[in-house]
Structure 1
Amino acid sequence: MSIINNIVSWIMKKRIHQIELFMKYPHEVQQEWLSNLVNTARNTEWGKQYDFKSIDSPQEFKQRFPIQNYDSVKPFIERMMKGEKNILWPSNITWFAKSSGTTSDKSKFIPVSEESLEECHYKGGKDMLAIYCNNRPETKIFTGKSLVMGGSHQINQLNDESCYGDLSAVLIQNLPIWAEFLRVPDISIALMDEWEAKIEKMAHATMHEDVTNISGVPTWTLILAKRILELTGKSNLLEVWPNLELYIHGAVNFTPYRDQFHKLIPSKEMYYLETYNASEGFFGIQDQSNNNDMLLMLDYGIYYEFLPMEDYGNPFAKTLDLSEVELNKNYAIIISTNGGLWRYLIGDTIRFTCLNPFRIQITGRTRHFINAFGEELIIENAEQALTAATKATNSIIKDYTAGPIYFSEKENGGHEWIIEFEKQPENIEAFIDLLDENLKRQNSDYEAKRHKDMALHRPLLHLAPSGTFYTWMKSKGKLGGQHKVPRLANDRKYLNELLEILVEQAI
């Protein structure tokens, strides 16, 4: 196995030269991809409608048609799901990645072409390992198995040829046969729909394997890990899998989970690698072990535009390309892809932490914030404030959500938090004060509104018993790796639903 490990590691690291090329020539690579995308799709329905043949510059491309969202492209995707061809992209698309999003109960179905599978998603998966092998030459990762927390898979009944599942399921279903020998559990378990039964089967199927690396959303990975420890009677995962060396994570901020993973995997040699992968495409990989920022991957068949968040909602706002972005500003990402998405607003916000090469951090969602009072509180503010408060009080958060308390005749507004702790702080009032003070440090608009309680009063915190968020997500049919607890909301929908559960639990 060591010979195989050395050979595979060497093959993986050959990709590093190509990565260094797009890091050195980012603007040329992006313009080349835009030209490639437009030329490839010029005879599609959209290519003809917007006259792709006559587009010869990024500026003309941006002027040709407006920014899209899922609602605007949904009618075309529904036609594709029924079997119509050559609408958004010329190749035959039979796979659709189902995404629930974080702010809507409705599902989205993102087309996944053969090109986006191979040139984007699978390329990103291989690049994760290439970067890891390059950063850790002594790795033995290929001597054992990869534990992958997959999603669910169903057949789309609208057309016998069209299938859908969450992105991880689509990827697992289309992996080459040889890949099955490198990963666990087997596909029959990995693609189960019912998550409670799935976790149980995954635990039994993997606890006796030689797992060297894990990929998955932190929440569900923790649930699986704790179940395995219950079944084996071990105190940590290294007693179960002594060769475990890598955890690949994404989708949610890892900071609130870091302490729990350090306890489950008590090794300073454990490597944590963050990725930015969504149904719409694979966007970023953490390429430095000492830096949590992610390298923006520029040769995956995606052309990027960036909309300054202060212009969000303005239909006449100008989008920026990579040559125009600035450090430490919030941008909404707009993509055009080899899966047939054109000037598509994916709903995430990022900021650039480095411009040579281009590295980013995810700051939140365009619709995932609290701005009921002009405070413009985003996920990044909340995560950093919570991290500081938990560190100071020696506590651990399992899940949380927050939203506004609206103004009333007698009361000013505020923010209401529901938090489920893994380890509760001894002094809740001190925790609230620390959260409040750190939010002020993170956000000057919040600080201004909190001055002498003029607009916002001190945060209101509800302690949620263990299992509250699990019960809530289960009631909405949202158990699974692709579903995430909405952290911030600009209305009280999620708060009110959870508060009803708290009331029922108290009776």
Structure 2
Amino acid sequence: MKLVNNMTVWFLKRRFERIEQFMKYPIETQQRIFSELIETARYTEWGSRYNYGQIKSIKEFQDQVPVSTYEELYPYIERVLKGEPNVMWPSQIEWFSKSSGTTNARSKFLPVSPEALEECHYEGGKDMMTLLINNRPDTNVFDGKGLSIGGTLHANPFDDYTQVGDVSAVIMQNLPSWAEFMRTPPLDVALMDHWESKLEKMASICSQENVTSILGVPTWTIVLMDQILELTGKKNMLEVWPDFEAFIHGAVSFEPYRDLFMSKYFPSDQVMYLETYSASEGFFAIQDDVSRVGEMLLMLDYGIFYEFIPMDEVGKKHPKALLLDEVEVGKNYALVISTNAGLWRYLIGDTVKFTSKYPFRLKVSGRTKHFINAFGEEVIVENADYAIKAATQQTSSLVVNYTAGPIYMGDGSRGRHEWIIEFTTEPEDRNEFVNILDAALRKVNSDYDAKRYKDMALLPPLVHFVPAGTFYAWMGKRHKLGGQNKVPRLSNSREYLDDLLEDITG
């Protein structure tokens, strides 16, 4: 296996020159991607409708093509789902990624073109490992297996000749044989439909493998690792996998989980944590410097053209969208993408905040629909993650999951935020935890601080401390188990809170 590791490292190191190229010429790279997308799609129905053949500049593109939500694009996507060719992209679409994003019942179906699979998702996977090597040149990560928790695939309900599934499942199903050789568990297990049975088989198989890296969502990785520890009787995962080197994570913020991973599962400074930002719609960013926690390099040559809408423009009929050279560091933007799968000026639903320019690094700050602003406080997921981390660090506690929403004003009572927080290690003093959580939110969010001043508009938060397994059971009841489903961190309504509280109180 040493030979395999050395050859793979040598091959991937050569890819770094391409990454350096778009870091050096980001605007030119995006202009090239834009031109290629417009030229490729000019004879599609969408391209004809919006005169792609006449578009000569990005400004003309922005003037002619509307920013669209999934619901607005769905009439076109539905036709592609039913097998109609050349609607939004000229290539034949044989795969669709199915995403619910949160616990909402409604699913999204996103086309995955051959170009998106090869030039975006697979390029992202290779560059992810390239940047890991760049941070640790002496790595032996390819001496062992990479563990990844796959989703499921099903026949397209609209067209028997194509398939739909989690994007991870689509990627795994199309992996070349050499890549399949380097990962675990086997494909037939990774793509199993029943989550509990899959988890049991994965734990049995992977506990016997020399796993050196994991690619996964923190929440579901924890569930798998707990089962492996129970099965093996080991104290931590390094006793199971002594050569383990890297956890590559994404989909949700890692900050609420970092201390848990470093203390319970991988108590070693030798384990590296690398963040990625990918979704059903594409692969967007990778942490290029492990010392820059929470910051990721925007990958600019994957066939995706990026625009950024300032938050005060979101919701407008014709929002102003900024280009890469127009963004400002530290400001929140709603992400808009045009892709090599035919998603045009698509408002993906994520908000991002740039941490640097030239090179362009960013962090995911939240979702355009996941926030609490019931009282003008504008609390976003980034604020909540910061406060949770501050409270856990100062009380020596460990949090697994949380969600929060508003308690509205009524009958002369003031409003407040209500939290449901699941722990593996609870704080000794619950009041201290709540006070630190509140203080950290006030520190990081001036609007929240103003509403909390002397309890005039908002009372201190109400926190429910719940045991490990609470969110897992809730997600299972809603048929939302698996790596592609995420617990909603914040909501401006009580939809999730009330449902969870009903389960807790019986």
Does residue 144 of structure 1 match 2:152?
A: no
Map 1:224-263 → 2, pairs under 5 A: 224-262=224-262, 263=264
Map 1:429-448 → 2, pairs under 5 A: 429-448=431-450
Distance in 2, Cα, partners of 1:140 & 1:204? 24
Query: What SS does the aligned partner of 1:161 have?
Result: strand
Does residue 287 of structure 1 match 2:288?
A: yes
Aligned residue for 1:299?
A: 301
Distance in 2, Cα, partners of 1:399 & 1:142? 32
Query: What SS does the aligned partner of 2:326 have?
Result: coil
Name stretches of at least 5 consecutive residues in structure 1 with no aligned partner.
Answer: none
TM-score relative to the length of structure 1: 0.98
Distance in 2, Cα, partners of 1:267 & 1:428? 29
Map 1:16-415 → 2, pairs under 5 A: 16-102=16-102, 104-262=104-262, 263-292=264-293, 293-415=295-417
Query: What SS does the aligned partner of 1:139 have?
Result: coil
CA-to-aligned-CA distance 1:451-481 (integer Å, 9 cap, x gap) = 1111111111112233221121111110000
CA-to-aligned-CA distance 1:393-418 (integer Å, 9 cap, x gap) = 11111111100111102201111111
What displacement does 1:420 show?
1.2
Distance in 2, Cα, partners of 1:353 & 1:157? 42
Aligned-residue CA RMSD (Å): 1.0
Amino acid at match of 1:423: T
Name stretches of at least 5 consecutive residues in structure 2 with no aligned partner.
Answer: none
Amino acid at match of 1:377: V
Q: Please say which of residues 63-72 and 222-231 is displaced more in the overlay.
A: 222-231
What displacement does 1:224 show?
1.0
4+ runs of 1 displaced by more than 3 Å?
none
Amino acid at match of 1:266: P
Map 1:463-474 → 2, pairs under 5 A: 463-474=465-476
Aligned residue for 1:482?
A: 484
What displacement does 1:103 show?
6.4
Query: What SS does the aligned partner of 1:274 have?
Result: strand
Percent identity of equivalent pairs:
57
CA-to-aligned-CA distance 1:343-387 (integer Å, 9 cap, x gap) = 000000010000010000110000000001110000010110111
State the number of aligned residues.
504
TM-score relative to the length of structure 2: 0.98
Query: What SS does the aligned partner of 2:419 have?
Result: strand
Distance in 2, Cα, partners of 1:441 & 1:268? 30
Contact 1:81 1:94 in 2 (8 A): no
Amino acid at match of 1:284: A
Contact 1:5 1:142 in 2 (8 A): yes
Contact 1:148 1:184 in 2 (8 A): yes
Q: Please say which of residues 225-234 and 360-369 is displaced more in the overlay.
A: 225-234
Distance in 2, Cα, partners of 1:40 & 1:112? 16
Contact 2:66 2:318 in 1 (8 A): no
Distance in 2, Cα, partners of 1:388 & 1:265? 21
CA-to-aligned-CA distance 1:240-282 (integer Å, 9 cap, x gap) = 1111111110001101111221121121111111000100010
Contact 1:103 1:367 in 2 (8 A): no
Amino acid at match of 2:431: E
Contact 1:82 1:162 in 2 (8 A): no
Query: What SS does the aligned partner of 1:137 have?
Result: coil
Amino acid at match of 1:346: I
